[in-house]
Chain A
Amino acid sequence: AQSVAQPEDQVNVAEGNPLTVKCTYSVSGNPYLFWYVQYPNRGLQFLLKYITGDNLVKGSYGFEAEFNKSQTSFHLKKPSALVSDSALYFCAVRDPTKGSARQLTFGSGTQLTVLP
């Protein structure tokens, strides 16, 4: 079964500093990986995805993520954090070899707080 873990419930970073939100996954095949962001009282917004190709994926709002197959990780990064980046971040995984499992499995979420 596919699974995804976000080991940190909360990440605090100062504005202007680089940020990293961690995600590790477990699937039997090559994964499809996603990051979503949720602002208060809003639905989830798609940030970026990795399907195949370059391990460094660039997404919306200056975010990027690095796929590391050997470490089964897909950490979200941004070079310089903004206060407006404060939100709940979800990593999600899908195993494309499971034709019947047309669903994403989401991590538990990481609350990012960027301090001014």
Chain B
Amino acid sequence: KNQVEQSPQSLIILEGKNCTLQCNYTVSPFSNLRWYKQDTGRGPVSLTIMTFSENTKSNGRYTATLDADTKQSSLHITASQLSDSASYICVVSQFSGGYNKLIFGAGTRLAVHP
């Protein structure tokens, strides 16, 4: 079954601290892996997209890693800010029938406290 599982479900950290979110997937055939940030009441916003051959990608204070052999990814947030409080969603794209189909995890809800 094609699934994307994320941990932890929720996380509270203090402003300025670093954190790492985890993603495991069983999607096949794999096309690419994406991390999205979703603020409350808003649509998801793309942070990174990684294909099979990429094992790390950065976007400012966000760094995503991908291990396609173990089917694991992580999102590392450096020097967290209050505005980082949001849900972070791991999304794996399945290539099927000539098209990409996105399979979403349930997200990790991050709260950054002052």
Q: Do A and B come from one complex?
A: no
